[in-house]
Amino acid sequence: MQDIVGPGRAVGIVGLGTVGESLLNMVVATGCPVVGVDHDPDVVTRVGQRLKRKDSDGAGESASCTLTTEITALADAGVVVEAVAEDPAAKRDVLRRLRQVCPPDTAIVTTSSSLPLFPLGTASGCPDRIVGLRMVRPPARGRCAEVVRTSVTSDETADVAERLATAIGLELAVLGQRASDFAARLVHSYLNRAVAMIAEGFASPRDIDTAMRLGCGLPSGPLELIDELGVDGVHDCLESRRRHTGEEAFRPVPLLTSMLRGNLLGRKTGQGFHGYDGRGLPGARTPDEWDRTRSPATDRPVGHVGVLGSGTMARGIAEVCATAGFRVTLVARSTDKAQSATTAIEASLVRAVRRGRITPARKGAACAALATVDDVSALFDCDLVIEAVVEDLQVKRAVFAQLGEVCRPGTILATTTSSLSVAACTAPAGRPGRTLGLHFFNPAPVMRLVELVRTPDTADHVLDVGRAFCADLGKVSVACPDRAGFIVNRLLFPYLADAVRLLDDAALDVEALDTAVQRGFGHPMGPFALLDVIGLDVSLAILERLHAEFPEAGCEPPAVLGELVSGGHLGRKTGRGLRRA
């Protein structure tokens, strides 16, 4: 690092908010001297206390770090990173002061993610020494950043910024200003919707975050991400976007404003949607630990599981249950379909052994525990019956009418519906207190999440049994009410619809936006690639159901989506969608 800043010189960080403190810690980890500056003495004290805790844990080198409120402490810095709030006036003021304080060979790096770089450089009075370090989320080792230069940025300044970013562990990437801005726009409206779900009491912060991490493969849930970005930063970005676009989707949910006023800003203050210890780490048990905890009264309440259906989801659920040690009866529509289900499940278990996921002995036990039949009366003595037939309300209602007649009074009945009303599906069974939704994700043997859906009539004990059953399967359950989309689809599909609406902007590059979301926010794939995988027809149908129940929540299907579906552009399955196949 010293070959970057020069012998005896330090790296300076101005602004010790979420981004600045993260950069400070990354520089400290290299052993290079660093000077952190913030105008707020309380922030300086708080950051210093966290550094001391890390040092006492052997996780920091705070002896190489100086923290102060005085910008003049940067008089000998070799490179300075400006990381103050995303406010043009504040950034211009800091950059001008840095030009006055720092030597003429000091490179000045601004972390602005949305403001034009050239005017900032011009306002500083030293545009050749100004370079941008664009990040769409707070920095951490292995995360992406883009070094952005203007037409007058010197080669030496750009080189210093690139070497600094590499030295502290950032991965250099080309994200693009427009693509980065579009990506941040999508994510911020998604975050605002997640806060709205909390405000209406739809689900807990833990369950929402767990659902989006495990259901969509995201690196963090929306509320965890807000805590990481800072409640104040997210609130300011939403307000700024609302002023510029006039779109109500960006109006901060009042709960977010209340948290801002209460100084509940996330990791940096120790409390946001979650609690954090003095080092900024989560201070509570992890979601997995919560979900695997249960009272002794609900230990293994289910012994015999019935699965009604023989499609991909039904077979996957039967396999998971048998592998977990349950006795399983799968009911298909015919003898041939029952035999085909047995063959498919056994083949899947063979693959699981080959991949080391289960032992040969466990495979043998699972096969012995599984029975496939074509007679629904075989479900009479089941403790739990899971319906996994086609996603059609009338078909499901007919199935539950049959189950209500066949199953003993104590049997719990569950539907795997992903988008229909659980109460509407199960009502014909005539036992409202003993019904619930168990929304498994596909493929069931692999995906760890189950959405545990409670109707207004579901008994507490039945919900407890459902939660314990999921834990026995090795799954993580999240509780939510019986509303369209449950947690995952209610958050995911408005986000995807927002992406489609961006197609109206001539500046949008579909592939560039997908890359920015993937590399900048760590999503497994961008919104357009994901739409093609899900299927545009499936996405349209889900959005129509969501819009019917939540007409003011941004769920209205974009017109272009309907046009694509009408034209046979359904995504990967037809080789024609939003991206090239």
Q: Are 533 and 221 contacting, i.e. CB atoms less than 8 angstroms apart?
A: no
H or E stretch covering 372: strand 370-373
Q: Give the mean pLDDT of the chain.
A: 92
Amino acid 288: pLDDT: 44
Q: Decide if domain 296-473 falls under CATH 2.60.120.260.
A: no
Alpha-carbon gap, residue 62 to 31, rounded angstroms: 9
Query: Which residues are within 8 A (CB) of 117 and not within 5 positions of it... i.e. 6 or more apart?
Result: 110, 130, 132, 148, 150
Q: Are 36 and 13 contacting, i.e. CB atoms less than 8 angstroms apart?
A: yes
Residue 61, pLDDT > 60, answer no
- The letter for the amino acid at 445 is P
Query: Which residues are within 8 A (CB) of 101 and not within 5 positions of it... i.e. 6 or more apart?
Result: 71, 72, 74, 75
The one-character DSSP state at 17 is S
User: What average pLDDT does range 2-8 have in this prediction?
Assistant: 76
The CB-side HSE value for 50 (13 A sphere, CA atoms) comes to 24
- Beta strands across the sheet bearing 327-331: 370-373, 327-331, 304-308, 384-387, 412-415, 435-440, 449-454, 476-481
Give the model confidence (pLDDT) of 535-571 as tens digits: 999 999 999 999 999 998 789 999 999 999 999 999 9
Domain ranges in the chain are: 2-174, 178-280, 296-473
Query: Which residues are within 8 A (CB) of 48 and not within 5 positions of it... i.e. 6 or more apart?
Result: 62, 67
Residue 248, pLDDT > 70, answer yes
Residue in the structure block whose two tokens are 């996957």: 316
Q: Are 333 and 390 contacting, i.e. CB atoms less than 8 angstroms apart?
A: no
φ, ψ of residue 445 in degrees (nearest 5) = -65, -20
Band (301; pLDDT cuts 50, 70, 90)? confident
H or E stretch covering 361: helix 360-369
Alpha-carbon gap, residue 335 to 337, rounded angstroms: 5
- The letter for the amino acid at 200 is E
Q: Are 125 and 96 contacting, i.e. CB atoms less than 8 angstroms apart?
A: yes
Alpha-carbon gap, residue 435 to 336, rounded angstroms: 30
Cα torsion angle, 320, 324, 329, 335, sign: positive
Q: Are 466 and 438 contacting, i.e. CB atoms less than 8 angstroms apart?
A: yes
In angstroms, what is the C-alpha Rg of the chain? 27
Alpha-carbon gap, residue 578 to 26, rounded angstroms: 39
Amino acid 553: pLDDT: 76
Residue 293, pLDDT > 60, answer no
Residue in the structure block whose two tokens are 């810690």: 25
- Nearest-CA neighbor of 82 among 102, 66, 53? 102
- Nearest-CA neighbor of 376 among 409, 411, 402, 341? 402
User: What average pLDDT does range 160-181 have in this prediction?
Assistant: 92
349 compared with 2, residue with greater pLDDT: 349
Q: Are 465 and 302 contacting, i.e. CB atoms less than 8 angstroms apart?
A: yes
Instruction: Name the β-bridge partners of 130.
Output: 108
Q: Lowest-confidence range among 24-28, 50-54, 141-145, 483-487?
A: 50-54
Alpha-carbon gap, residue 83 to 15, rounded angstroms: 5
440 compared with 52, residue with greater pLDDT: 440
Label each residue of 260-275 as H, E or C: HHCCCCEHHHCECCCE
User: What average pLDDT does range 500-505 have in this prediction?
Assistant: 93
Band (176; pLDDT cuts 50, 70, 90)? confident
Amino acid 299: pLDDT: 61
Domain 178-280 falls in which CATH fold?
A: N-(1-d-carboxylethyl)-l-norvaline Dehydrogenase; domain 2 (1.10.1040)
The one-character DSSP state at 170 is P
Give the model confidence (pLDDT) of 370-395 as tens digits: 999 999 999 999 999 999 999 999 99
Q: Are 309 and 388 contacting, i.e. CB atoms less than 8 angstroms apart?
A: yes
Q: What six digits make up the tokens of 160?
A: 């210093």
Q: Do domains 178-280 and 296-473 have the same CATH topology?
A: no
Q: What is the DSSP string of 290-357?
A: HHT---GGGSS---EEEEE--SHHHHHHHHHHHHTT-EEEEE-SSHHHHHHHHHHHHHHHHHHHHTTS
State the pTM of this model: 0.89
Amino acid 58: pLDDT: 58
Amino acid 292: pLDDT: 42
**Would you name the residues annotated as active-site residues?**
418, 439, 451, 489
* Domain 2-174 CATH superfamily: NAD(P)-binding Rossmann-like Domain (3.40.50.720)
Amino acid 36: pLDDT: 98
The CB-side HSE value for 108 (13 A sphere, CA atoms) comes to 31
User: What average pLDDT does range 287-306 have in this prediction?
Assistant: 61
Cα angle value 14/19/21 (rounded, 5°): 65
Amino acid 291: pLDDT: 45
Amino acid 419: pLDDT: 85
Residue 287, pLDDT > 60, answer no
Amino acid 55: pLDDT: 73
- Nearest-CA neighbor of 129 among 120, 142, 138, 116? 120
